[in-house]
Chain A
Amino acid sequence: MTADGRGVGPEAQPPTVVHGFRERAELAGARVPFRLKLAMVWGVILIGVGILFALAGFDVEWMLDHFWFIFRGLPWTIVICGVAIVMAVILALFGALGRLSTNPIAHGVSGFYTSFFRGTPLIVQMFLIFLALPELAPDGMLGLRRTLTLSAIQAGTIALGLNYGAYMTEIFRAGIQAVGGGQVEAAEALGMTYRQRMRRIVLPQAIRVIIPPTGNEFIAMMKDSALISLLGSVVAQMEIFRRAQLMGRADFRPLEAFIVAAALYWILTSVFQFFQTRLERRLSAGYVRSVKTFSQPGVSIGTRGELG
C-alpha cells in the first residue's frame, strides 16, 4: 500500500507513489489524448501568428477587398499543375523504364533527359522554352516558328512537366526496383511478356511506393508554378502569384497581396494532402493483415506496409 492510499495489487506491482505537484501534473498530462494536445499546440501557434499579424498592422480590409481578384488565379494554377503533373508522370514512367532497360537507345535517351533537366535550374528551362525554342525554326519557316512560339503559360507548363518528370524518373525507378525480383520471376515463369509483366505485376505494386513521394513532388510543383509569372503571362491567364504581384504593386500593398497568395497556396496544398492520405490508405489493400487498419486515422502505409 502506498502513502496516499492508492491501492497496489498484492502481486508485486511497482509502487506508484506520487511525489508532489510536478509528478501529479505529469500524470494528469499523460491522460490527455494526443490529438487534443496537438490541437492545443496548433491553437497556440495560430494565436501567436494572429498577434504578429495584428502588430504588423496589415491592411486587412484591402486583403478582403482584393481576395477574389487573386483567387481567380487559382483555376490557372490548378490547370497548369494538372497538365504538368500528367506530363511529368508519363515522362517519369518512360524515363524509369528507359533507365532500367538494357536497350542502349532507351537507356541513353532517358539518361540524357534526366541529367539535363535535373542539372539545370527550372527558371532557366522556362526561359529556354519560352524564348529559345522559336529560334530553332530555320529562317523563312514562319509557320514552324509560330508553332514554336508559346505563350508564357504554355512554356511554363511544359517546363514544369519536363523538369518534374526528370526528378520523378528517379522516384519511379526506385519504385519499380522495390518490387522484388521474385515477382518478376514468377511472372516470367507464367510466360508473361515484358509488357504484361509491367502492367499486371510490377507497376501495380510499384505504385504503392511511388504515390507518396509523387504527392510531395506535386505539392512542390504547385508552389513552383509561381515561377511562371516571371515569364510575364497575359492578363487573361494569370495564376495566383502573378495576380498578387500585379495587384500588390498597383496599390503599394505587396505584403498584403503576398499573404493572400501564400494563404491560397497553403489551402490548395492542404486539400491535396488530405486526398493523398486517403488514396495511400486505399492502396495498402493486400499489405495489411487486418481490415481494421483502414479506419484508423493517420496511419500511413509508409510505416505499416508489409510485403507478403
Chain B
Amino acid sequence: MSDHTVVRVGGLRKTFGSLEVLRGVDLEVRAGEVVVVFGRSGSGKSTLLRCMNFLEEPSAGSVEIDGIRVLGGHRTRTQRERIRQLRIRTGMVFQDFNLFPHMTAIENVIEGPITVKGTAKPEAMELGRRLLDQVGLSDKADEHPIRLSGGQKQRVAIARALAMQPKVMLFDEPTSALDPELISEVLTVMKDLATETKMTMIVVTHEMGFAREVANRVAFFHEGEIVEEGSPEQIITNPRHPQTRRFLEAVL
C-alpha cells in the first residue's frame, strides 16, 4: 500500500426532499487500500457509493478520484464531461449485476474498452479473455447472461468493471442478491483482487467475515454518517460506539 491517495470525499451531502440521507461524509482512501463500509439498511451507505460516481447527484460536497474533482450541485455541460472522466477511472459492481442481456459474457466485458476507450477489438478480446480467466469463467465467454448463475453473473460484472482498468472499484452489496451457496465464489474473486492485484476497493457489504479477512479499514455507517472507523480488529472485536455494538451483535 502506498501513501498516494486515490479517493477523497469531502463533506458529501445528499437530501431527498426533506430527508437527509448523507450528512457530510468525509472519506479518504489510499492506493491499494480496501475499505469496507457497513451499517443498517437504509443508513445511506449505498447512496454514498452511488454519489461517488454520480449515479446519484450529491446535494453538496466534493468527490475526487485519481485527481479528478467534481463538486455536487447543478450539472453543467463541462461538469458532465468531468463526471464521465471520473467514471472511466472508477469501476462499479451492482447488487443486481446489471449485465447487458443482449451481449455474451465476453461482449459485456469488452464493451467498455471498445466503446468508451476506443480499444481495438483484438486487443480488447485478449484483455476480456484474461479477465474472464481471472474470475474463473473462461469457459463461459460465449454464454449470454441468462444462462449464467447469479454468482457467475456477478463475476462477469466484476470482470466488466475491471476491463476499464479503474483506479478504484466500488462494490455496492455485491453478494446481497445471491443464493447463500454462491456468495463465496464472488467473495473469493474479490479477495484475490485485493491481495493479488492490490486493487483499491470500497465495499459496501454485510459480510463481516470478508471485512475481517480482507479489509484494511472498516467504517460503520449510521444515519448518513460514518460514526466509527478503524482497523477490522479494532472495530469488529472492540466497537466503541453503541450503535456499532448493537449492529454487530445483531449480525455476528
Contacts and interface: CB of A to CB of B under 8 A. Distances in A.
B98 A287 contact: no
Contacts of B146: 286-289, 306, 308
B115 A200 contact: yes
Interface in A239-293: 285-289
For B92, B94, B99, B115, which residue has the most chain A Cβ atoms within 10 angstroms?
Answer: B115
Contacts of B161: 189-190
B103 to A, nearest CB: 7
B182 to A, nearest CB: 16
Given A185-B55, A285-B144, A191 B98 contact: no
Interface string A201-217: 10011000000000000
Nearest to A306: B146
Interface residues of A, number: 25
A182 interface: yes
Given A200-B115, A308-B144, A186 B94 contact: yes
Contact of A204 (B90, B91, B102): B102
Interface in A294-308: 306-308
A196 interface: yes
Contact of B85 (A182, A186, A191): A191
Interface of A: 180, 182-183, 185-193, 196, 200-201, 204-205, 285-289, 306-308
Contacts of A180: 98
A183 B146 CA distance: 15
Interface residues of B, number: 30
A189 B144 contact: no
B116 A190 contact: yes
7 contacts: A180-B98, A182-B98, A185-B98, A190-B111, A286-B104, A308-B101, A308-B145
A188 B147 CA distance: 25
A196 B115 contact: yes
A122 B164 CA distance: 51
Interface string B107-136: 000011001100000000000000000000
B84 interface: yes
B92 A205 contact: no
A306 B145 CA distance: 11
Contacts of B103: 286
Contacts of B55: 185, 188-189
Contacts of A286: 101-104, 144-146
For A287, A306, A308, which residue has the most chain B Cβ atoms within 10 angstroms?
Answer: A308
B229 interface: no
A182 B111 contact: no
A215 to B, nearest CB: 20
B101 A307 contact: yes
A191 B81 CA distance: 9
Given A289-B147, A308-B99, A189 B115 contact: no
Which are the 9 A-B pairs with shortest beta-carbon distances? A308-B101, A191-B88, A186-B98, A189-B92, A308-B145, A286-B144, A182-B98, A190-B112, A308-B146
Contacts of A192: 112, 115-116
Interface string B69-113: 000000000000000110110111010101111111000000110
Nearest to B146: A308
